[in-house]
Structures are given as structure tokens and as C-alpha cells.
Chains A and B, each alone.
Chain A
């Protein structure tokens, strides 16, 4: 069932669009991340969902009910949503208990039920002891959990989070990431999570929306985003990669130093030219082969021109026959010297054809 339907939404500031043509159907209980570099329009999109900003184009519907369009916007207070802000926005004039109880009070929940539910919630986020403290007396992580509890306790239709972890140190961030996922598993709240940290998005999300300069680059599951990036931007934003350009020559694509039969790249069958992304981890480095391997693998000859040891892996820079370069990451025990002649094994399953780039 579609909880939130976002259709062709766009938003301009002056003449520059901050978000362009954003469409997404979010299923009930789904965890969606908006991922992208700073300034790409994530906050703008999230605040449009929340109702703080009206769209310049397009519509947003909740449970089939229109809530945002350029002509009319249902104000945030009538959307039954919750949001966790980058600044947490814990109210410093209220205690932890009052902060968490506030949403229930506004919903006119009976006092006895409020105290029961707040008690339960504080237990879940391990803040029972701190209930009567003021926010100024809490650590950053505790404040973050207050924000989480305050947002979740009202059992919102949709939970919105705007980079809630960016102010925390690395350890705490890890912990909170799991906490957020755990809350999601427990309450099954439809969640839209904004971040510019790919690891955060990977761990938590059912699907990731990668954005760049206000545009949606790709919407897919974390594994798909990594394994089959749709665009050059996605491939380089999520992890590291090699870009390889090939031209059609009869029944094959000719790359700089090797060929791939065109029936092996079905998604590029119509094109004259393709750009593929090849992750360094998908390149096997073996001593120079005499004869090519069979099956899915193709083999390319090259030589090691540079290397770096990272403890858990080696990075080799390999020069191919036509002097182009490729990066390969391999297990730490596979050691080669600079100047060694090697062969590179590439599994065609791991090549992804980029849809946006032709050169």
C-alpha cells in the first residue's frame, strides 16, 4: 500500500530550482533515505513533505489524500507526521518528560495514558533516569534520543529525519544508527531519512534516493545502488569506481584494451557507445596468464605501476596495454611488486552500464 505519493515535485528559489521533478511512491512501513552531497536539495524535499515549504510544481499525497500542491498546502500541524531535526530542536524550557509528552498532550490523550506511554518510551530509549532533567543537562547522544522518543511516541504516519546524526561523534553515530533502525523495526513507521553519509543510508534503508543538484539520480535498494549504479554521479558518489568507455564495433564493444561481446551487455544493446562502472573490488589480480580464462570472466593484461597497502586490502594502479589506468583492490595477502606483469580478471556481472553517460 502506498503511504506517501510524491509526483513530479519541484521547488524553485528565485529562478534556481532547489529540487526538480522528484517522483517517488513510498510504501507503508518503508524506510527511505535521501542521499546526496551538501546543497543537493534533500532538506528542501523533506520540508516539502513535512509541509513547511510549498512545492512550486507537482503534488504530494498521504494515504491517497492530497496534502501539498502549488495552490494549497496542508500545514505541518495537520499532517500527523513527526520530524527529527538536525539541531534536535529539543525545547530547553521543558524537561525530558515534558518534551516527550508534548505531542500526546496536543493530541488530547488522557493524562493517565500519557504518563504510561511516556514511561514506556523513555524505557525504550533508556532515559527513564533522566526524565525530570532539562535538556541542557544531557549529553549529545541523550538529547538525540529525546528527539527520537518525542517524534516516535506520537506514532506518526511518516517519520522524517534530517541528518540527525551529523552532530555526533563516530561511535555514538554508529550506535544511534542501529537505534534508529531498531525503532523502525519495532514500530514499522514509514520513514524518510536525509543524510549525506552513504554508510548511514546503506545500513538503514529499504531504498535509497540518490540526489544531485536537485535531481533524482537513482532510486533503488542499497545493494543495487552499489552494484548497479545508474549514473556516473551515483557510481562515483557511492564508493570508488573505474569508468571505462567502449565503442560498438560489429557484435562487440571495444574498450581501450579489451572487447566485450555486445550480447553480454544487454542493457546497452541499442547503443553505439557505452560507459561502464567497474568497482576496484570487482577486479581480480592474478599473475600474467598465458591463455584467457573461460566463462563469465574476461582477462586483460597490464602491469603494476603503483601500490598502496591499507592493512585490510591492497590498492594497485594497473597500466593497461594502451596506457590507460585501472584501480584494483585485492586481498592483503596478494602482494605484487611495482613493475610486475599481471592479468586482471573481470566478472561481467559486476560491470554496470551507466545510463546517463555516453562518453
Chain B
């Protein structure tokens, strides 16, 4: 072989050189574009939220009247207190559910761990409002299945359970947020090596003393961190709250915001009312970061030293029994009653052949004025949001990781900011920023898509960042030195290598968007209902059979995509970085 080409290339080199060196750096343009998008999606809604809370709705002048309106009535202030207490109760109960399961799964030789893991994932994937509707069927006063069972078995006058109560609500929320405790605690327990336990063992500590005195204290920071996440989730959760607390006449922050947001619309007061909640959230989030040693919980999943499993001996079965009991409450029983109701002519008549029908599904799909549309909407909005969020997250993560521009880090901080903003507050901010003219996006598909994108941007970003970090930059350098630009490197090498993880991130955002309630409920218009909005439409005066059928459709959709994710990305893909809806 000879070298004809490189010699010919010489002639072209100078021309290329001049062109290349003089060229304006396109990176800065991309940076500007991304910064603009992030400001529009993340910063502007928050700024609008704050500024509108000080605005007089009539004169558009400056005022603090909104804050006076928001906090002058006892009812409003009590909602705050109720929510705080609710959060504490939920966090405590969720830890009681989740920590033992985490310990059993990660540190003991309990049988059937695989099943327990799958069921925890199923719990996590279940939208909380589906859990709520199922539990209304199970523990509603009088007609609830469990109450009827009590009457049947014990011969008492009336069943003792009433889901429409404060502690009913606590139970429902904890039942669907304990997976956070499992995820965090498992990650921490897997970092503790058996050597630390051995050290205590040699000093004569017994198996269970050991667990109490050594293992759990070591995992305590992670457990506290999960408690904070659960607490924050609980105080701003709107879905189960509407279904349970509204009929039970318990006032809570999300309900109060919902009321301000209803008719007549008091946007300014809602903004003022939501700011303390935002401060609580931001504050607790930083506490959590400090507790976790500023590492963030993603990094907790490393492997630290060798671990041996604790032999439970005869206790294996009670421990398994405990895990399965909780998961029966969160998965088996609810799914069972939901399916039964969805396929029943009248759910209270119980499962029998005569009571079996597909009419509920048919009604929803073919007769209901909004149902079919809302299913389509859900798919379209969730796909669009997932696509935007992943594309945006990928661009930002790439620029930050490759240090393409100065101050790239600022982009990543902004991209992660929505994680500290509760969904209802983000929705109010979006409404304040983009609903009124001149943008006038009120009730459009676009505002929903943008809100979903923003809300789940941190999930996409954390995934994209981890994915890019796993790829050696020399892979791209190799493209560039052979004559391909950055864009060629992205298209031919980086994207193909990231395909699987990006698909995983996309699915994750898609799934949590498809069950998102808070932003949807505050931002939808007559033609832009999603399945979760429809769900609440049906709750008011609808029939439980139809509601259940819609729930089954939603559940099947979610489980289908979760399964896709599992097959594509591997076990536990949803549990990697907390994505929850609700």
C-alpha cells in the first residue's frame, strides 16, 4: 500500500484549517438554547409563582394581602397542621412496612426473595389512586369486602374499618410509598460489610442484638433519608387525598390548594399558600442531602466488602409471612377486588358467573364521551414528555460531562431543581406562567406536555448522566481524530452505545407521566383529559365498576411498559432513581 491520499489531502488542508479555525463555536449556541429552554421550563414557573403571590389580582400592584387571605382562616391553617401530622404518620408507618422487608431481602436467607422483590416493584408501579379506589372497595364502611368479612366471620353488627378517615388515608399512602424505604434501606444495607458485623459478633453480640445495635444504626442515614422522601410525597400527594380526605371532610394542604384553584379561581392566594410548602420541601431536601453525606442516594448502590446472610432458622417463615402480608395488602387484595369490580355488573354482589360482564370496558371504550380520548391523550402526552425530557437531559448531561462550555454545571443544577418542587406547586407555577395571555396555553396539550417534561426532567437527567458517565470519552475522540465532527460521534457512536439506557429512561418517564395526577389535574382542559384526570371525573358520581375498569386498563398499560423496561434494562430498573407519580 502506498499513501496517495494523505499527499493529496495536503492541498486541501490549509483551506480547511482556515475555515475550521475561524468558525464560530456552535457549542455556545447550543448552551444558550438549552439555558433558554431550562429557564422557560424550570425557572420561569417558579419565579412567576413567587411574584404572583405578591400581586394584587385586581390592580396588578404589589401586595401581601394574598398571604393574609391564605393564612387568616383557622380552616386554612389547620390544613397545614393536618398535612404535617399526616406526613409524620405516613413516614412512620411506611418505615415499619419497608425497613423489615429491606432487611429480610438483603441480609437474611429468607426464601422467595425474588417474589418479594417483584411484588415491591409492583407496589411501586401501582398508581396510588388505584390503591385508594381498591381500598375503598375493601374497607369502605359497611359495603367494603373486609368489613363484610368481619360481619360474616365474627358475627359483629358492623365492620370496624373505615377507610374514609385520617388513619385510613395514612394507611393508603404508606402502603404505596413504603417501596422508597425498601429501596433506600436495601442500598445502605448492601454497603455494610459482614466484617463490621463480625467485629460485634466476636464481642458476644447475638444475631438480633447485632441487627438492632450495629446493622440498623449503620443504615440509619439512609432510612431517615427515605423517611424524608416519603414525608414530602405524602404532604403534597393529591390523588389519594381527593378520593379519601374529601369525602371524609379532612382538610389538607393539597385539598386547600385544589379549593383555591377551583371556582372562583384564586390563583394568587394559591401561590401564597403554596410557598411555605415549597420552603418545607426545599429545606427537608437539603437536610436529606446532608444526612446522606452529600453524595445523593444514587451512589449508595456501590458494593462494600463481603456480606454473609444471616441464617434465620425457624424464623424464616414468620419473616416471609410478614413480607407477604404487607404485599398482599398492597398488591394481591387490591388487584383482586379491582379486577372483580371491573368485570362485575354490580361489584357488591360479589364474584359469580351471573355477575360477570365486559360492559364496563365496552362502556368506557365506546360510549363514554371522554374515555377513549383520554387514553389516547395519555399515550401521546406521555410519549412526548418522555421524548422531550430524555432529549433535553441527554443534551445537558453531555455538555456537562464533556465540559464543552464554561458554567455547564449551572445547567445541571437547574435540570435537577424540579426534584424539590412538589407536583401541585409546579402545576400552579406553570399555570401562573403560561395559562394567561399572551402565551395563553391554558387547557392545551402543550402545557401538559411541558409540565410533565419539567416534572420528570430530574429522573431523565439522573439516568442520562449515569449513562454518559459510563462511556469512555475516548470513544468519541476516536471518531473526531478520524475526521468526524462531534455530531458524527454522537450519531454513530454515543447514541448507539446509549440506546438501551436511553430507552430505559424514556420508559421510566413515560410510565410515571402516564399516571401523573397533580400537574394534570391542575392544568387540563376540556379536550386534554388524561386517564388520571378521567379517573377523578368518574369518582364524582361515577360508578365504581367503570372506575375499576379504567383502573385495570391503566394498570395493564403500566405493567406492560414496566415489563418492557425489565426485559430491556434488567431487574429493578424502576427502582434506580425514585420516580413516583401522584
Contact = CB atoms under 8 A, between A and B. Distances in A.
A117 B5 CA distance: 12
A74 B497 contact: no
A107 B483 contact: yes
B472 interface: yes
Contacts of B17: 65-67, 74, 78
B353 interface: no
Contacts of A210: none
A73 B480 CA distance: 14
Interface stretch (A149-157, A201-209, A248-256): A149-157
B481 A50 contact: yes
B17 to A, nearest CB: 5
A102 interface: yes
Interface in A309-350: none
Contacts of A170: none
Contacts of A102: 479, 482, 484, 492
Interface string B1-15: 101111001100110
A78 B1 contact: no
B20 A78 contact: yes
Given A106-B482, A150-B482, A156-B6, A87 B472 contact: yes
A211 interface: no
Interface residues on A, range: 35 or more
- Name which of B9, B475, B481, B497 has the most chain A CB atoms within 10 A of its CB: B481
B484 A77 contact: yes
Given A73-B21, A91-B478, A91-B493, A80 B13 contact: yes
B16 interface: yes
A189 B480 CA distance: 19
B1 to A, nearest CB: 6
A171 B20 CA distance: 43
Interface in B268-320: none
Contacts of A89: 472, 474-475, 477-478
A74 B20 contact: yes
B5 A76 contact: no
A159 B3 CA distance: 13
B5 A107 contact: yes
B481 A79 contact: yes
Given A74-B20, A93-B497, A102-B482, A83 B477 contact: yes
Contacts of B477: 50, 52, 76, 83, 85, 89
A50 B481 CA distance: 7
A155 B472 contact: no
Contacts of A87: 472, 474
A75 interface: yes
B480 A72 contact: no
Given A65-B14, A66-B17, A106-B488, A91 B475 contact: yes
Contacts of A351: none
B1 A187 contact: yes
A62 interface: yes
B496 interface: yes
B485 interface: yes
Contacts of A67: 17
Given A91-B493, A93-B496, A83 B481 contact: yes
Given A66-B17, A78-B17, A157 B481 contact: no
B4 to A, nearest CB: 8
Interface string B474-513: 1101111111110010001100110000000000000000
A197 to B, nearest CB: 20
A233 to B, nearest CB: 29
Contacts of B497: 91-93
A212 B17 CA distance: 32
A26 interface: no
A157 B496 CA distance: 29
Given A63-B13, A74-B17, A155-B5, A106 B483 contact: yes
11 contacts: A72-B21, A75-B485, A77-B483, A79-B481, A80-B6, A80-B483, A82-B482, A83-B481, A86-B474, A102-B482, A188-B3
Interface of A: 50-52, 62-63, 65-67, 72-83, 85-87, 89, 91-93, 102-103, 106-107, 109, 117, 120-121, 124, 150-151, 154-157, 160, 186-189
Given A77-B488, A157-B6, 9 more contacts: A62-B13, A77-B483, A80-B6, A82-B481, A102-B479, A102-B484, A150-B482, A154-B6, A155-B3
